[in-house]
Amino acid sequence: MVLARGIYHQFKSDPELISQLNQFPTLLRSQGVWAIAGAVILMFVQWGIEVVKWKRMFSRSFDMSWQDAFRAVFSGLAISMITPNRVGEFAGRIIYLPAGLRIKGTAFTFISNLAQLLVTLVAGCLTLLFAGSAFKAMLEPVGLSAIITLLYWLTPVMTTLICLPFFTGSRWIGKLMQIRMLSRYSSQIGIIDSLSLQTLTVILVLSVCRYMLFIAQYGILLTVSGELPNLLALSLSVAMMFLWLAIVPTLSVAELGIRWQFAYWLFTPVLVNYPVILFAVTAVWVINFMLPAVIGSIILFFYKPFAVSAK
């Protein structure tokens, strides 16, 4: 509510924004349809990459079909929309696994999300390195420059802490298995050891591809302004927004308002037409999360348990 009120006052206090908003329906009719169509295509590509990641992780333990991998990823999205920072995603994925593999599936969901978070943090580190001072100066008028200073220290620490369990998971698992309560699951959780360095590297590369597709979606949707956004400025602004979203705990249903506010602060180097920025941010959220969640909900509605067996 606070974020929504802030956005309302931004429109109310700036006549230029109202003028731009009045012109926006014309822009949307002339170019928005093609931009949305392109973003939807990229949505299926980037979630298709997530399907590949999910199937690849089970390649040594379970002969998962592409259909079940697709169902698992989209069902996970449906459940994640009602949990903070999408932590409930694993619940939608593991229902398509045999009972004996569901703990492993939970661990694999964690590894997959960890890879995506690691890419976000590394991109954030690079953004802070090359453009941190520019963003700090940009946020000075709204009293938020201290956040950039905090990110300078927090992001490298988080990146290091994420790298440790991602690349040295087997060592940490060995220590965890010494705990009596967890020892009974050692044979199941130990499957993470089967994720070789090569597999982890592939997962990481696929996560980078997904990240780049997110940026491409913003680029396509911002073209409804009639201008071609600067790719470097766009990449830096999106990377900074994703970094904030990764660190700030949110409910998926409330995330859109936070994205609006972050975009208002961070997208100035990309485009000054705020209604177009608002449209792009909204469209990316709806296309990448709401639409797949609806698809996942339909899949869950028709889901029927089935008997499968691991290798």
CB atoms within 10 A of CB 154: 15
Measured CA to CA, the distance from residue 231 to residue 132 in angstroms comes to 17
Enumerate residues 6+ apart whose C-beta is below 8 A from 201: none
Check residue 30 and give its pLDDT.
62
Least confident range of 93-97, 143-147, 156-160, 290-294: 143-147
Cα 115 to Cα 31, 37, 42, 111, 166: the distances in Å are 35, 28, 20, 6, 7
The ranges assigned to domains in the chain are 29-301
Measured CA to CA, the distance from residue 68 to residue 60 in angstroms comes to 16
Q: How confident is the model at residue 190 (pLDDT cuts 50, 70, 90)?
A: low
Judged against a pLDDT cut of 60, whether residue 2 lies above it is answered with: no
Nearest Cα to Cα of residue 75 among 48, 96, 98 = 96
% the chain with pLDDT above 90: 21
Check residue 149 and give its pLDDT.
84
Question: Do 280 and 220 form a contact (C-beta atoms < 8 A)?
Answer: no
Nearest Cα to Cα of residue 237 among 210, 213, 219, 256 = 219
Q: What is the mean pLDDT of the chain?
A: 78
Nearest Cα to Cα of residue 239 among 120, 149, 114, 117 = 120
Check residue 205 and give its pLDDT.
95
What pLDDT, in 10s, does the model give residues 198-218?
888 899 999 999 999 999 999
51: phi then psi, degrees, rounded to nearest 5: -65, -40
Check residue 7 and give its pLDDT.
47
Question: Do 74 and 295 form a contact (C-beta atoms < 8 A)?
Answer: yes
Judged against a pLDDT cut of 70, whether residue 310 lies above it is answered with: no
Residue 37 vs residue 309, higher pLDDT? 37
Question: Do 211 and 119 form a contact (C-beta atoms < 8 A)?
Answer: yes
Measured CA to CA, the distance from residue 6 to residue 259 in angstroms comes to 13
Cα 20 to Cα 97, 219, 235, 277: the distances in Å are 50, 19, 24, 11
Check residue 61 and give its pLDDT.
73
Measured CA to CA, the distance from residue 291 to residue 298 in angstroms comes to 11
Measured distance between the N- and C-terminal CA atoms of the chain, rounded to whole angstroms: 50
Measured CA to CA, the distance from residue 47 to residue 296 in angstroms comes to 12
Question: Do 256 and 282 form a contact (C-beta atoms < 8 A)?
Answer: yes
Check residue 251 and give its pLDDT.
55
* Structure tokens, 14: 């700036």
Nearest Cα to Cα of residue 76 among 108, 99, 120, 41 = 108
65-71 contacts at long range (C-beta below 8 A, 24 or more positions apart): 68/96, 71/96, 71/299, 71/303
CB atoms within 10 A of CB 308: 16
Q: Could you give the count of Cα atoms lying within 13 Å of 289 in the half-sphere of its Cβ?
A: 20
Q: Report helix, strand or coil for 281.
A: helix
